[in-house]
Amino acid sequence: MNESSDVRQYAPATLRNRAPILKVLLSVLPPTGAVLEVSSGTGEHAVFLAPLLHPRLWIPSDPNPIARASIAAWRDHCPTDNLYPPIALDARDSVWPVELDKAPNPLSDWDSQRHPIVAIVNINMIHIAPWSACLGLMAGASRILPTGGILYLYGPFKQSGQYTAPSNLAFDESLQMRNPEWGVRNLDQVVTVAEAQHLSLVKTVAMPANNLSVIFQRVGLSIREVVE
């Protein structure tokens, strides 16, 4: 790739957290199927994780065209046969592209019947997005994931309304200065929203730099809920 045309972006934190994230994903993801990454950012996680999670398929996405260009450039730089091109997906949308009967290009060759989405991965999004993005993420996961499917979140959280470290307080203040709709989320509130969408908290795992991995599982509907 010509350096002058290289649109790859870099997030320094990726180098620190990608191996710990991989370790958790290997322990919680279903062994086969497709993984949808919501808000893939630079694409560095996608190109690192996808080949190490083979034979699972990895579908990156982002609402930002600049981010999608970076993801595509990283994919070209580090090709692997189980990583799809990035798709335009905003977690707040009521219908995601992967829900359509015929997904728009570049997913025209994805066989959703043979390789259904069994997990959704979301790294470092809900604190740098409006709360509506978290709500949309949970609703989308509820629509798409099968019973037993996994939703994986990574990032900083408050627990029982308290910051887990002074650095998270400082980070939260800096986020809200940039955008009042952003901020470190209270894990209890996230869990409440998830449970309303039939996503049950499985466990949390302490991660580097006072972050958490938060794992939810899609639970089946009761007979009463199906009737209603």
Using one digit for the tens of pLDDT, what is the confidence trace for 58-96?
999 999 999 999 999 999 999 999 999 999 999 999 999
Closest CA to 217 of 145, 152, 149, 154: 149
Determine contact, residues 212/204, Cβ cutoff 8 Å: yes
Quick one: pLDDT at residue 4? 46
Token pair 């980070």 is found at 171
CA 176 to CA 154: how far, in whole Å? Answer: 19
Has residue 48 got a pLDDT over 50? yes
Token pair 């209270």 is found at 186
pTM of the model: 0.93
Closest CA to 160 of 127, 196, 187: 187
CA 115 to CA 113: how far, in whole Å? Answer: 6
- Domain 3-227 superfamily per CATH: Vaccinia Virus protein VP39 (3.40.50.150)
CA 218 to CA 144: how far, in whole Å? Answer: 10
- Give residue 171's Cα distance to chain centre: 21
Quick one: pLDDT at residue 109? 80
CA 189 to CA 128: how far, in whole Å? Answer: 16
Average pLDDT over residues 132-137: 98
Using one digit for the tens of pLDDT, what is the confidence trace for 213-224?
999 999 986 444
CA 195 to CA 52: how far, in whole Å? Answer: 31
pLDDT tier, 103 (very low <50, low <70, confident <90, very high otherwise): low
CA 25 to CA 20: how far, in whole Å? Answer: 9
Closest CA to 207 of 15, 20, 13, 9: 20
Domain ranges of the chain: 3-227
